[in-house]
Structure 1
Amino acid sequence: MTKSPRFAFIKAGWHADIVDQALAGFKERLAELGADADVAVFDVPGAFEMPLLAQKLAETGTYDAIAACALVVDGGIYRHDFVAQAVVEGLMNAGLKTGVPILSVSLTPHHFQPSVDHQEFYHAHFLKKGREAAEAAVQVAGVHAALPRMPTRAVA
């Protein structure tokens, strides 16, 4: 890539103390890779709001890739299954519709408990997933930048 990549990072507000670790890992890994990347951060209330924002951000043409991060937990009523599926499908559809790579760092653990042990585990896990998303963002942005450009047709 000849220009510095621009990334958007969307964070869901539920379990923000854990979700924020993914952003920290994302930025940390970009710095280690020497990627002089601009990262715009956007907060949304929950995971369900991420796909629409991802699509709107992609449609601006400003970002080389967009990462969306949430922790969708089992609250005992099986709603998490529907939310997680809708979010991941929505993110995929937004990427396919706009042509901008959209990365999901949205995780749905089976047995999340708000305990100290789980907090420590998920903090470390989201840090790792954020680092992995940074590597993917840099790689996919490079691949897309290297694609041949289609000439635009003049409209008569």
Structure 2
Amino acid sequence: MADDLKSSATRTGLNGAGLKIGIVQSRFNPKIVSALLAACIEELNRSGIVGDDIVLFTVPGALEIPLLLQELASTQQFDGLIALGCVIRGDTYHFEVVCNESARAISELQLQYQIPVANAVLTTENEQQAEHRAIIKGKESAQVVLEMVLSLKRIRSTQRPPERKLSA
């Protein structure tokens, strides 16, 4: 299991030094989101993203995450963003609304602003599932945002204006 938790970012040689990452974390289910955050930051640090290059904001719950992500994206000061939260199924339909709407909004804003957003808002049946997934998903969120940022940078740096052929 320890091998499963090793950083694939480290294994693949991804280096995030100099990148600026914004994190928006829900305060709901604090034990779970604290584990998500710790694992995420540890992985960002391992990849070379440290100190002031990681900016954290907290919000009340998962439905509030997209608004702050949108605001951060609009500043154009971040290379990538990470959403951290935990929604545990209850007895009402509210679970589906929160899960579906937060995921939809997060996906839409990354396309609208063309910035990678790693969605690590856990949606689980119970607290035990959430506890089991927190460290893994926290690390994966850092790996996902790093890989996507570096991939986009590579694509964008190789884009050239189309060549125009002059007719003789």
Same fold (TM over 0.5): yes
Q: Indicate whether 1:143 and 2:151 are aligned.
A: yes
Cα displacement (A) at 1:31: 2.5
| Partner in structure 2 of residue 8 of structure 1 | 22
The 5 A counterparts of 1:35-114 are 35-36=49-50, 38-110=53-125, 112-113=126-127
CA contact (8 A) 1:11 1:43 kept: yes
For the 8 Å contact 1:88–1:104, the answer to whether it is kept is: yes
Return 5+ residue gaps in structure 2 as ranges. Answer: 1-14, 161-168
For residue 74 of structure 1, report the CA deviation from its aligned partner: 1.7
Matches within 5 A, 1:128-139: 128-139=136-147
Any idea what the Cα deviations from partners look like across 1:82-106, whole Å, max 9, x if unmatched?
1100000000111111111111101
Larger Rg: 2
How far 1:2 sits from its partner (Å)?
9.0
Over the residues paired in the alignment, what is the CA RMSD in angstroms? Answer: 2.1
Q: Tell me the residue number matched to 2:9.
A: none
Q: Give the direction of change, closer, same or farther, for the CA distance of 1:2–1:43 in structure 2 (3 Å limit).
A: closer
Aligned-pair identity in percent equals 24
TM superposition score normalised by structure 1:
0.83
Higher relative contact order (CA 8 A, sep 6+): 1
Residues 12 and 46 of structure 1 are in contact (CA less than 8 Å); yes or no, is this contact kept in structure 2? yes
The alignment partner of 1:145 has SS state of helix
Distance in structure 1 (CA, Å) of the matches to 2:130 and 2:123 = 11
The Cα of 1:33 is off from its aligned counterpart by: 2.8
Aligned positions, number: 144
